[in-house]
Structure formats: C-alpha cells, structure tokens
Amino acid sequence: MKRLLTVLLAAFMVLSLAACSDNGDSKGSAAEGKNTGEKKTIRGGIGLNDSHPQYLGLLKFKEIVEEKTNGDITVETYHSGQLGDDRTMTEALQLGSQEVTIPSTAPLANFVPEFSVFDFPFLFPSEEVADKVLDGEVGQKFLDKLDSQNLVGLAYWENGFRDVTNSKHAIATAADFKGLKLRTMENDLHLEAFRALGANPTPMAFTELFTAMQQKTVDGQENPLATIYLQKYYEVQSHVSNTHHIYSPFVFLMSKSFFDGLTEEQQKIVKDAAIEAGVYQRQLNREANEKYLTDLQEAGITYTEVTPEAREEMVKLVQPAIEKYTEKIGKETVQEVFDAIEAASK
C-alpha cells in the first residue's frame, strides 16, 4: 500500500512538472505565441476628458483588444488626469504600474530628447503630411528610440494644430504676445519659442491648467480647438487666434514590461488596435477641430484670424530656437525629418 502511494505520488509529481513547463514560464511560451489563458488588464490613462476624441479613441482601442483577445485582455480606461499627467503617467509605464498612456510629443521629449523635433514651430504644413511622415519610416524610427526608456511606442494619434487663447486681448501679430503670461507644456523648446515671440511662458502640467487660468496665475495657453472647447476654456478665456504654431502628435505608449509579457499574437493585436483606433481618433479629431470654432464663438470667445504675413513674422522670430534645438538633437536626425516632410508634401 505504502509503495503504491509512493508510486502514485511520484507519477503525480512528474505530470504536474510537465504541465508547469507549458504555462508557468509565460515569457517563453508567450514568445512562442501560445495563449497562456492568463487574464491580463491594461490600465489606460489620459489627461483629456471623456468627451475628447482622444478618449473616444481609447474606448475604440478597448473594444478591439477585448474582442480580438476574447476577453483575455481587458482594458480599463481613465480620463481627465485620474491617473496623473502626461509625464507622471509615462513614468508609471516605465515602472510597470500602469500599462498605457497617450502623451503629447512635447513632454515625451523629456524622456527621449529627439522627439522635440516634432514640436518645432511651423514644422508640418498639414495634417495629411504629418500622417505620412509619422506613419512612415521616420516616424517608426522615433518610436523605436522609446525602447531604451522601457517604453513601447505603438502608434501616433493626433492632438492637432495648436492655437493660442488668452483672457487679455486679441493676438493678431507677434507684438501682441508681449508680456502675456502663457502656460506651455513641459518642454524647453516651447519655452524658448514663446520667449522669442515676446511672451512670458511658464511650463505646467495639463492637469493644473484650468485652475491656473481661473485664478489668473496665467493669462493664456495654447491647444487645439477641440481641447479648448471640450475642456471648457471659454469659461476662463476671452480670445483665440489661429496661430497654428505647432502640430502636436500624440504617441500611443505601452509599458515595455507589460508588452514583453504578452504572447506574440497578443502583441500584434495591441499594436494593430492602437493603429486602427488611431485612424479613427484622427478622423474624429479633425471633425471636432472644424466644428468647435463656431461653438467657441457662440460660447463668447472672440476669434482672431492671423494673416500669412503675421505668421511669417512669427516663423522668423522662432528660427533661433529651432537652430539651437537642431544642434541639440543632431543635424542629421532633424534633416531626415525635413526631407520626409518635403517628400510627403509633393
């Protein structure tokens, strides 16, 4: 009887060890694309609110991932800075305490400085050219740089062309920036550019912006029209000008430790979902930016059209800042982006 029990026990041990080699080592079997059956959760956080195209895009990503993984991966979505701001959420991805966030390239340059090239004022002539460059070889090259920061860049989404608002006076020419206290994103190039335009810029996390305008700590800020309207800035600002001074991309980021823990099949699903939801988000964003200028004026904001001559003057004033950052980032890297824009503009 004792001997029988020993034999049975031994047999049981061998069997469970064999089973273990199949499921335990998720990384190994993950790389081989086997479905581990292990449920995983993605916590996706953004700074904008739940009516913004960025959040609607995140909901689209959730829908695709949950459907394509048959619920093996679920996506929890957080808006309005519930999980932090662009910089702190990106740090959380690096630590593995969050899985997804979609920051603007401006704060992302604090992690990978080369990304500042995408924030060169007046760089992209149109959204279409931006799409071609970002979704092309050059865009991918920049996403690959994120790996060294324990981040995986899955796709580019759109924040959009940024316009300036303020609570003081209309901005029609560069001279109108003089002395205006403007909030900028946390990016040194933005600070330099607005100083060159004559403003008094201060870097600030997006989550603090509305209160800062309400309390008049700052006179104004700059963002695409959809954000200006959907974040209700018309409640604390009286003027908007179509400076279109920077085209801001968003980067759909995933934590590298989380991504590496996925099966190959799951890695493909999240990558494709980020791209597909990105196309959807860009479309919504462009419709929103068009629609909300009228709504902003109806909400009482005064709109000022910047003439091509006035914009040309602004372009000239920010050149020294662009030259300085071309040196910092590296001429070759910057030239590659300029060449791609030229090719895409043909």
Residues found near ligand TK8 in the complex (CB under 6 A): 46-48, 86, 103-104, 159, 185, 206, 223, 227, 248
Q: Which is nearer to ligand TK8, 48 or 123 (CB)?
A: 48
Q: Which is nearer to ligand TK8, 182 or 301 (CB)?
A: 182
Tell me how far, at minimum, the Cβ of 231 lies from ligand TK8, in Å.
9
Q: Which is nearer to ligand TK8, 93 or 262 (CB)?
A: 93
Q: What does residue 220 show for φ and ψ, rounded to 5 degrees?
A: -165, -175
3-state SS of the chain: helix, strand, coil percent to 5? 55, 15, 25
Residues near 85 by beta carbon (within 8 Å), at least 6 away in sequence: 47, 107, 205, 206, 207
Tell me how far, at minimum, the Cβ of 10 lies from ligand TK8, in Å.
58
| Tokens encoding 317 | 């004033």
Tell me how far, at minimum, the Cβ of 57 lies from ligand TK8, in Å.
13
Q: How far apart are CA 327 and CA 182, in angstroms?
A: 26
Q: Which is nearer to ligand TK8, 72 or 158 (CB)?
A: 158
Tell me how far, at minimum, the Cβ of 301 lies from ligand TK8, in Å.
17
Q: Which is nearer to ligand TK8, 208 or 336 (CB)?
A: 208
Tell me how far, at minimum, the Cβ of 48 lies from ligand TK8, in Å.
5
Q: Which is nearer to ligand TK8, 97 or 345 (CB)?
A: 97
Cα atoms found within 13 Å of the Cα of residue 283, Cβ hemisphere only? 8
DSSP code, position 125: S
Q: Under a CB-based contact definition with an 8 Å cutoff, are residues 245 and 24 in contact?
A: no
Q: Which is nearer to ligand TK8, 86 or 219 (CB)?
A: 86
Tell me how far, at minimum, the Cβ of 241 lies from ligand TK8, in Å.
16
- The residue of the chain with the least Cβ separation from ligand TK8 equals 47
Closest CA to 156 of 178, 132, 174: 132
Sign of the torsion formed by the C-alpha atoms of 64, 67, 68 and 71: positive
Residues near 319 by beta carbon (within 8 Å), at least 6 away in sequence: none
Q: Residue holding tokens 């403007």?
A: 182
Q: Which is nearer to ligand TK8, 253 or 301 (CB)?
A: 253
**In b/e form, how buried is each residue of 80-100, taking b as 16+ CB within 10 angstroms?**
bbebbbbbbbbbbbbeeebbb
Tell me how far, at minimum, the Cβ of 102 lies from ligand TK8, in Å.
8
Give the N- to C-terminal CA distance of the chain in Å, as an integer.
85
Tell me how far, at minimum, the Cβ of 165 lies from ligand TK8, in Å.
11
